[in-house]
Structure 1
Amino acid sequence: MHIGFDAKRYFHNNTGLGNYSRTLVNGLARLYPQNQYTLFNPKPANNYTVPQGMPLSEAQPQNWLYKSLPSFWRSRGIVDDLKKARVDIYHGLSHELPVGIASSGVQSVVTVHDLIFERYPKQYGAYEVYMHRKKIRYACAHANHVIAISKQTAADLHNLYGVPEEKISVCYQSCDPVFARRHSEIKKELILEAYGLPSQFLLYVGSLIERKNLLGILQGMHEAGEALHLPLVVVGAGKAYRKKVNAYMDNKGLGKNVFFLADNPEVPATFNIRRTENLSALYQAATALVYPSYFEGFGIPVLEALWSRIPVITANTSCLPEAGGAGALYIDPASTAEMAAALVRIQDDAEMRQALVNKGWQHAQNFSLEKCCASVMEVYEQLLA
């Protein structure tokens, strides 16, 4: 079987879609080495390269037109290259498929991560919403099969876009295996020292946008008052929402209790938190992850926390109970009182924390790399059966 991938995010994105692409593709190549895998990359990359020793190869546009217009190659011109390479299945890893794929003779699969822009359009530009909608509708209409990364996304595809249920498979995503590996105490201490962090803290990982609800954590911290002793460490960046967060912190005097790692640009590259091994060490050093997002397609930080063996506070909405299972403490993300109570409880109740860790570790096994890759491989095999 020869499988081709839309590898734009694999090579050029260092956050969610990139992590999904690299984890899945590298996992498939390692676990199913009898197949051939080609990464179709629209332009040269500096950040990521193809791992050695696996049946993976990279393909880029060859003629001057497509080299000059890599987006055009990715959206249209790539189809001829797929046929020339004798690709059996082409997998669009991030919502998109090229025009003409349906009549090419190449089977196609598309992964849709979420339809959040349909629920929260004001958090996107009008043109961005239009393009997301156009690309995803096209991909779902022309793909031979659609992969949704959660039951929530599968339901949204069916209910909002009318994609037939039998055309959709839920294939959960995994996270980088490094999160499950135990870091030494020295490694964790070095990360904390590099960023000037205390030895005990709560952790937030995510973009600083309205939907992810960092402000809800801060409101809970303020309401908890002196009963809460743990500071909050924030991994993530943002602009407009960060101003709103800063204004609230200034008004409530919370500044000394919140650490924004994005404000530490001078940290040596060895300890850069964008490196997965450093981020996973930070997770393992935390008392708990706090992730009260109003809506997610999956909520990968929750899974990263479970693999890291730390408890989670998260929202009881969208797919987050799918991701957290019995390893999380659930709250109404709009309730400041529930947030405050959960923060104090996770801080004070060591027995509960350990119970959540144990249950979370068991739940995380449902999202092992082996299971996630097997579910995707089953989709491929059924298409070629």
Structure 2
Amino acid sequence: MRIGFDAKRYFLNKTGLGNYSRDLIRMLEKYAPENEYLKYTPKTGDQYINQPTSQKNIRLPQGFINTTWPNLWRNQRIVQDLKKDKVDIYHGLSGEIPLGLAKAHIKSIVTIHDLIFLRHPELYHPIDRWIYKKKFKHACEASDRIVAISECTKNDIVDLFHIPEEKIDVVYQGCHEAFKTIKTEEQKANLREKLKLPQDFLLNVGTIEPRKNILPVVKAIKDLDIPLVIVGKPTRYYQEIMAYLQQNNMENRIFFFQGLAMEELAVLYASATIFIYPSIYEGFGIPIIEALYSGTPVITSKMGVFPEAGGPTSCYIDPTNISEIKHAIISLLSDSSKRDEMIEKGLEFVQKFNDELVAKQMASIYASL
């Protein structure tokens, strides 16, 4: 079969949706090579185009209209290119599919990551909410199959868009291979020296925004002798955190980083004493999976999708309860045998997200269409 992908984020997004797109296509190319995978994108940027083996499967808009209005191409005119390329199935990897696929007799699948804009509308501008709802609802109704990245997201699709649950498959995300290799003590020491980090620290990874909710952790460690490393792009929420740090003379105890190379990030995960992820809402929570593969104990939120990602032996807290967060941190820092048990059981649990399993499940859905 020929599978076409909406690869805009594959090439142009360096975090969440981009990582999902790159990881899924990489897994499929490796473990389901019986299909041909074509990547359709308005442009490539300069990050991945230089891989010669993948250039032949990249499709860009052609002609004056499509190159002048690439969004029009991606949302509608792309169908003509899919027909010309004899694509059997088009997979929208980020909640969107173009108009006219069914009329062109091209089967379609859409991946829905989350419906946060409906569950927490206060986090989004009204115009953005309207656009997202229109795009996602159309994709869910018009596609032949829907892939949800968690049971939590599947339930939201059924509840909020009234889609029959038998139309939806849950296929969990995998993660980058960098997190799955054992890191040496030398690698860890070198990175700590480069970033000027202490031996023990808490780690949080994700955009620094209200939904990720890292400020309660900062407050929880105010009187604890443990620093916190935060890796992510800052938003206005960052200023709120900085104001608290300055008021409480904590500036030298919180380390902020962004733009780390994937290998550096993987070593950082493996170096952390505890990974803490107090997010309010996620479609899945891939940093939890990255931490478990890295052999790092996880503290995360007790509601929503997080137990799905963290498994039975991660530590779960109310992300709004500062004293509960503080108690969880103290308990794990003071009990190395408990941390060792969480590492061992976490590594066992996370094998359900292995690349081959994810690829075979997705390839089976393609074959069913």
TM over 0.5: yes
| Farther-moved stretch of structure 1 (337-346 vs 145-154) | 337-346
Distance in 2 (CA, whole Å) between partners of 1:369 and 1:93 is 17
Question: SS at 1:99's partner residue?
Answer: coil
Contact 1:220 1:336 in 2 (8 A): yes
Change (3 A) 1:323 1:50: farther
Shift of 1:190: 2.3
In 2, the alpha carbon distance for the partners of 1:107 and 1:239 equals: 39
- 1:90 corresponding residue in structure 2: 90
**In 2, are the aligned partners of 1:327 and 1:360 still within 8 Å (CA)?**
yes
Q: Do the aligned residues in 1 keep the contact of 2:207 with 2:233 (CA within 8 Å)? A: yes
Which residue identity lines up with residue 161 of structure 2 in the other structure? Y
Q: 1:267 is matched with which residue?
A: none
Q: Distance in 2 between matches of 1:29 and 1:349?
A: 43
What does residue 205 of structure 2 align with?
A: 205
Partner of 2:264: 278
Letter in 2 for 1:99: L
Whether the 8 Å contact between 1:149 and 1:298 is mirrored in structure 2 is yes
Could you tell me which amino acid in structure 2 is paired with residue 111 of structure 1? T
Task: Indicate conservation of the 8 Å contact 1:36/1:55, yes or no.
Answer: no
Residue pairs, 1:1-385, within 5 angstroms: 1-49=1-49, 51=51, 53=53, 57-222=57-222, 225=223, 228-262=224-258, 273=260, 275-383=261-369
> Residues 37 and 55 of structure 1 are in contact (CA less than 8 Å); yes or no, is this contact kept in structure 2?
no
What CA distance in whole angstroms lies between the structure 2 residues aligned with 1:56 and 1:3?
Answer: 14
Where does the alignment leave 5 or more consecutive residues of structure 1 unmatched?
Answer: 263-271
Structure 2 match to 1:269: none
The secondary structure found in structure 2 opposite 1:27 is: helix
Does the CA-based 8 Å contact 1:202-1:232 persist in structure 2? yes
Between 194-203 and 82-91, report the one with greater CA deviation: 194-203
Inter-partner Cα distance in structure 1 for 2:331 and 2:139: 45
Compared with structure 1, are the counterparts of its residues 370 and 54 closer, same or farther at alpha carbon in structure 2 (3 Å cutoff)?
farther
Q: Distance in 2 between the 1:230 and 1:176 partners?
A: 28
Kept after mapping to 1: 8 A contact 2:277/2:300: yes
TM-score normalised by L of structure 2: 0.97
Q: Secondary structure at the match of 1:103?
A: coil
**Paired residues, number:** 369
Give the SS at the match of 1:102.
coil
Distance 1:334 1:371 in 2: 35
SS of the residue 1:136 aligns to: helix
* 3-state DSSP of counterpart to 2:312: helix
Moved segments of 4+, more than 4 Å: 50-56
**Contact kept in structure 1, 2:211 and 2:279, CA below 8 Å:** yes
In the TM superposition, residue 377 of structure 1 has moved relative to its aligned partner by 1.0
Q: TM-score with structure 1 length normalisation?
A: 0.93
Please list the CA deviations of residues 48-84 of structure 1 after superposition, one character each: whole Å capped at 9, or x if unmatched: 2375557971111111211111111111110010011
Between the aligned partners of 1:211 and 1:43, the Cα distance in structure 2 is: 30
Q: Give the percent of matched residue pairs that are identical in Structure 1 and Structure 2.
A: 40
How far the C-alpha of 1:189 sits from its partner, in A, is 2.1
Q: C-alpha root-mean-square deviation of aligned residues, in Å?
A: 1.4
Q: CA deviation at 1:102?
A: 2.1
Where 2:208 maps in the other structure, the secondary structure is coil
Give the conservation status (yes or no) of the 8 Å contact 1:148–1:168. Answer: yes
Q: CA 1:219–1:205 in structure 2 vs 1: closer, same or farther (change >3 Å)? A: same
The structural deviation recorded for 1:183 is 2.1
CA deviation digits over 1:255-295, x for unaligned, max 9? 22111114xxxxxxxxx51x211100110111010001111
Question: What secondary structure sits across from 2:57 in the alignment?
Answer: strand
> Is the 8 Å Cα contact of residues 2 and 86 (structure 2) preserved in structure 1?
yes
